[in-house]
């Protein structure tokens, strides 16, 4: 692929087709920019996915902690209700 682009570039420069060469170079630059934007988007998707996974882990841990606290509270209430009588 790189050889193909190199051949096109040399052909355009050897024929003194500077206008077409500028258009070709601009097209190459646009392709590189599009590639970079795709890479950044994929990186953002991966980062958002890892953030969502961390959030789910934290929510799961929070749910477990709430359940444990509720169980301890019920035990304490039962203990205190028995000690009052």
The end-to-end CA distance of the chain, in Å, is: 88
Please list the pLDDT of the chain residue by residue as tens digits (85 residues): 678 777 777 777 777 777 777 887 888 899 999 999 999 999 999 999 999 999 999 999 999 999 999 999 999 999 998 886 6
Provide, for the chain, the percentages of residues in helix, strand and coil under a 3-state DSSP scheme, each rounded to the nearest 5.
95, 0, 5
Domain count, the chain: 1
pTM for this structure? 0.57
Give just the sign of the alpha carbon dihedral 17, 22, 25, 30: negative
Domain containing 63: what range? 2-84
């Amino acid at each position: 692929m790189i050889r193909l682009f190199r051949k096109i570039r040399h052909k355009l420069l050897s024929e003194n087709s500077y206008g077409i060469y500028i258009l070709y170079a601009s097209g190459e630059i646009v392709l590189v920019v599009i590639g970079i934007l795709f890479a950044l988007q994929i990186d953002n998707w991966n980062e958002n996915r890892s953030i969502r996974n961390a959030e789910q882990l934290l929510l799961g841990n929070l749910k477990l902690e709430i359940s444990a606290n509720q169980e301890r509270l019920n035990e304490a209430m039962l203990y205190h209700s028995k000690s009052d009588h």
